[in-house]
């Protein structure tokens, strides 16, 4: 590992970190989002809360603990949240992430356990203690909607909600819908109307954030255990995108949400009105992004439209190099 790089990423002078709770469903790209949040000085990660999505809740919670064990950060508390969407119907994605949710690499067994509290309880405790917390949500929005409903008194403590999900145009799970929103559109609709600052990283921007075969080789060439494992994970994650889209590498959807929190102009956003279709026969889970310049609807969501891919990949490689 490059010690100078380690020191620069861990303790960059003059950086005031944003306090973050990461709500996720690991998931290959969630794992890389978690790594990026831990590596960068712009983020102080308070906790990880898990939700069913890419895999059932038991697996996504175990996967979060396995990633933290790999990274040597079992000090970060993990709490399990909702085990199914608001409508009670579990929807998962083994076709993409495998049966475990993190197939493809030899991750360590967890060296810690989830805390004896629910995701709602843990997030509420941190919101009560902190002046401003950014929630970064990279899975279905069930936990976030539950928090907003159960603890509306804590809304002023939420600085912003940054989510990976949705699409302006075509979806990836259906013709209309991206998976995270499709999995729990009722929760997404509640979040979109919560009144707090919102940023949405849709497929239009995350599909630009793709790794290439050379990028995955560069992960492996770092020579650390973390690089080797993440190279294997990304190669597994790439296989379905090769089949579906003909790409030579996977889009790192969820790390884009963390990259947006870091700032620095990496991601370009535009503010639009966004609503969520919850009942449509063919359009359930669609995020309706009103891009019309003459729209009368209130524009309340900062929607990602482009990303500097090369800078994003460099950032990911630097972050991976921080760890053993």
- pLDDT tens-digit series, residues 216-261: 999 999 999 999 999 999 999 999 999 999 999 999 999 999 999 9
Question: Which of the pair, 11 or 179, is modelled with greater confidence?
Answer: 179
Q: What is the 3-state secondary structure (H, E, C) of 98-162?
A: CCCCCCCCCCCCCCCCCCCCCHHHHHHHHHHHCCCEEEEECCCCHHHHHHHHHCHHHHHHEEEEE
CA angle, 256 then 258 then 262, to 5° = 110
Q: What is the share, in percent, of the chain residues with pLDDT greater than 70?
A: 96
Coil vs helix vs strand at 199: strand
- The closest alpha carbon to 323, from 212, 235, 222, belongs to 222
Is the pLDDT at 61 greater than 90? The verdict is: yes
* pLDDT reading at 50 higher than 80: yes
**What is the domain class of 3-321 according to CATH?**
alpha beta
Query: Residue 15's pLDDT is what?
Result: 73
Average pLDDT over residues 21-37: 98
Residue 247 burial by Cβ neighbours in a 10 Å radius (0-12, 13-18, 19+): middle
Q: What is the pLDDT of residue 13?
A: 57
Query: What end-to-end distance do the CA atoms of the chain give, in Å?
Result: 7
**Domain definitions of the chain by residue range:** 3-321
Evaluate if residue 67 carries a pLDDT over 50. Answer: yes
Token couple for 94: 């083994």
> Of residues 28, 97, 241, 253, which has the active-site annotation?
253
pLDDT in tens, 91-141: 999 999 999 999 999 999 999 999 999 999 999 999 999 999 999 999 999
Question: pLDDT band for position 16 (50/70/90)?
Answer: confident
10 confidence band (pLDDT: 50, 70, 90): very low
Q: Is the pLDDT of residue 289 over 60?
A: yes
Angle separating helix axes 309-321 and 253-262, nearest 10 degrees: 90
Cα 267-272-276 angle, rounded to 5 deg: 105
- pLDDT, one tens digit per residue, over 179-223 is 999 999 999 999 999 999 999 999 999 999 999 999 999 999 999
Residue 182: the pLDDT is 97
Average pLDDT over residues 35-61: 97
Q: What is the pLDDT of residues 157-167, one digit of tens each?
A: 999 999 999 99
pLDDT averaged over every residue in the chain = 94
Tell me if residue 253 is catalytic. yes
């Amino acid at each position: 590992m490059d010690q100078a790089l380690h020191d620069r990423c861990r303790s960059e002078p003059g950086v005031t970190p944003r306090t973050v709770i990461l709500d996720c469903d690991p998931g290959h790209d969630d794992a890389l989002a978690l790594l990026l949040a831990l590596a960068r000085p712009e983020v102080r990660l308070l906790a990880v809360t898990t939700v069913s999505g890419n895999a059932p809740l038991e697996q996504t919670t175990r996967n979060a603990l396995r990633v933290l064990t790999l990274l040597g950060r079992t000090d970060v508390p993990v709490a399990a949240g909702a085990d199914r969407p608001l409508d009670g119907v579990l929807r998962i994605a083994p076709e993409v992430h495998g049966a475990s949710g993190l197939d493809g690499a030899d991750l360590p067994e967890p060296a810690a356990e989830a805390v004896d509290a629910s995701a709602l309880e843990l997030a509420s405790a941190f919101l009560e203690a902190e002046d401003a917390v950014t929630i970064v949500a990279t899975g279905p929005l069930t936990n976030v909607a539950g928090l907003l409903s159960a603890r509306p008194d804590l809304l002023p403590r939420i600085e912003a909600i940054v989510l990976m999900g949705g699409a302006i145009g075509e979806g990836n799970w259906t013709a209309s819908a991206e998976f995270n929103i499709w999995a729990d559109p009722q929760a997404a609709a509640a979040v979109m109307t919560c009144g707090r600052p919102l940023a949405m990283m849709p497929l239009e921007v995350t599909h630009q954030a793709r790794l290439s075969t050379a990028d995955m080789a560069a992960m492996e060439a770092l020579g650390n255990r973390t690089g080797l494992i993440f190279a294997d994970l990304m190669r597994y994650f790439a296989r379905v995108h090769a089949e579906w889209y003909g790409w030579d590498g996977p889009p790192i959807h969820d790390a884009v949400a963390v990259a947006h929190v870091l700032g620095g102009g990496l991601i370009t956003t535009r503010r639009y009105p966004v609503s969520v279709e919850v009942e449509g026969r063919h359009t359930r889970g669609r995020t309706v992004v009103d891009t019309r310049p003459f729209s009368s609807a209130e524009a309340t969501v900062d929607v990602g439209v482009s990303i500097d891919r090369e800078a994003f990949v460099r950032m990911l490689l630097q972050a991976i190099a921080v760890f053993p």
